[in-house]
Amino acid sequence: MSDEDEIILSELDDEELVQQMFDDLYDGLKEEIEEGVNILLERGWQPYDILTKALVGGMTIVGYDFRDGILFVPEVLLAANAMKGGMAILKPLLAETGAPRVGKMVIGTVKGDIHDIGKNLVGMMMEGAGFEVVDLGINNAVEKYMEALETEAPDILGMSALLTTTMPYMKVVIDTMVEQGVRDDYIVLVGGAPLNEEFGKAIGADAYCRDAAVAVETAKEWVGRKHNQKTA
Amino acid sequence: MPLRDTELTEDGLSPSGVGRVLLIACGALAREILDLKAANGWTHLDLTCLPAKYHLTPDKITEGVRESVAKHRAAYEQIFVVYADCGTGGQLQAACDDLGVEMIPGPHCYSFFEGNARFAQHSETEITAFYLTDFLVRQFDAFVIKPMGLDRHPELRDMYFGNYEKLVYQAQTDDPDLTRKAEACAAMLGLSFERRFTGYGDLATTLERL
């Protein structure tokens, strides 16, 4: 791109800037996203609005194009990395301004599995959608999940696995929840490349989520349902 | 005609039409199977391969095997599928059961090359190992670097491999050039290196009984 074509973010009006941030997220341009977030903050935007309208809006498009086979994992990771840059600026401000919280999720990859790209994407998209996310990291034994459920009291437990050999461990966790009489206290969502809907049902999860965007939609739907049950 | 790794990756391999048992295999196993066949005089075995690149999208494996069985069933007495589960989450086994054909046991080729029983013994203590076979070392760019975008965005390396500690090169053959390349792959990914000679492991013993 020549100098005369260069876009000066600060010269764009709000609508153009948000649109440009969608493009920059799509292209994985972290510095531009950070700059865009700072400009919107200077213009008096609320952190929650920047998060939902600019960042999540942009990542949703990335999610759709990933689902439709237009974008692939490397591009999604670059976009996620750019969003992470924006989130790092917004996160402390969101805590200060008391942004609305949709629900809480404990998430981690199961014992024997160190593959956390999907789990990290889900965690980030969930945070973007207004969920509080407690990330247990990788290689989690059932005891770690159970302890986190007790101490964090989340709405949702999310489990992730990439390997055929590790995915059955999800059932170990769910069976333990059943044994301890707490299974119905939580929404259990599972995901990972070798999983499918049938597997999710067979192990007693509430839903299988094929990607991060689906995970967010599913989480919102189930949390909404849970709240409705409580108020009914 | 000599086998070309790029063709095995992209297109697979057509059967020769000779032999009473057809092996439907992953393109990544073609050389190994043909080597075993030649060494043991298994003239009753014919081989067709699906593109090795299906490993990047495992849902294509089950569908590809189904189509291949349907296409070739009438021409052979027996069909044997030389894929392990390979990331299909049990769907390939279910399809084989449905089609009435057998497949090689195990979670993936890293396991059956080493021997499923032996691999299972250390699988829980070796979760931070990234495995490469002879084929994957030769096709490292096609299976690792390019699909992960590391040629265009090397900064993504640690997002993919940050939780791994070592690269285990499971050598099917003794080839100093491949070993050197595997070592270079480990360095590129920022991992320590281990060469582990496996030979053909359970692949040989499984094909032997057909």
> pTM (2 decimals)?
0.87
Overall average pLDDT of the A204-219 stretch: 94
Closest-approach residue (CA) in chain A for B150: A74
* B90·A195 Cβ contact <8 A: no
In the predicted model, is pLDDT for residue A41 greater than 80? yes
Across the interface, of A75, A112, A195, the residue whose CB is closest to B124 is A112
Strand (E) positions, chain A? 103-109, 131-135, 156-160, 187-191, 207-208
In this prediction, residue A4 carries a pLDDT of 54
Across the interface, of B123, B149, B150, the residue whose CB is closest to A165 is B123
In the predicted model, is pLDDT for residue A232 greater than 90? no
pLDDT (tens digit, 9 = 90+) per residue, B156-183?
999 999 999 999 999 999 999 999 999 9
% chain B with pLDDT above 90: 93
pLDDT (tens digit, 9 = 90+) per residue, B1-22?
678 999 999 999 999 999 999 9
Q: What are phi and psi of A6, to 5 degrees?
A: -60, 135
Q: What are the structural domains, with CATH classification, of chain B? A: 5-104 (3.40.50), 115-197 (no CATH)
Cβ contacts of B96-103, under 8 Å, gap ≥ 24: B96/B65, B99/B66, B99/B69, B101/B69
pLDDT (tens digit, 9 = 90+) per residue, A115-155?
999 999 899 889 888 899 999 999 999 999 999 999 999 99
pLDDT (tens digit, 9 = 90+) per residue, B64-78?
999 999 999 999 999
pLDDT (tens digit, 9 = 90+) per residue, B103-115?
999 999 999 999 9
pLDDT (tens digit, 9 = 90+) per residue, A45-67?
999 999 989 998 898 899 889 88
The yes or no reply on domain A103-231 and CATH 3.40.50.280 is: yes
> What residues of A are in the B interface, CB distance below 8 Å?
28, 72-75, 77-78, 81, 112-117, 138-139, 163-165, 167, 193-196, 199
Correct CATH for A9-97 of 3.30.450.20, 1.10.1240.10, 3.40.50.880, 1.10.10.10: 1.10.1240.10
- How much is the ipTM here? 0.83
Query: Does any CB of chain A come closer than 8 Å to the CB of residue B75?
Result: no
Average pLDDT of chain B, as a whole number: 95
pLDDT (tens digit, 9 = 90+) per residue, B43-66?
999 999 999 999 988 889 999 999
Overall average pLDDT of the A3-13 stretch: 84
A9-97 shares its CATH topology with A103-231: no
Closest-approach residue (CA) in chain A for B87: A194
In this prediction, residue A2 carries a pLDDT of 47
* A199·B108 Cβ contact <8 A: no
Closest-approach residue (CA) in chain B for A114: B163
In this prediction, residue A69 carries a pLDDT of 85
Could you tell me which residues come within 8 angstroms of residue A148 by beta carbon, excluding any fewer than 6 positions away?
Answer: A106, A108, A134, A136, A154
Across the interface, of B89, B159, B164, the residue whose CB is closest to A77 is B159
* Domain-wise residue ranges, chain A: 9-97, 103-231
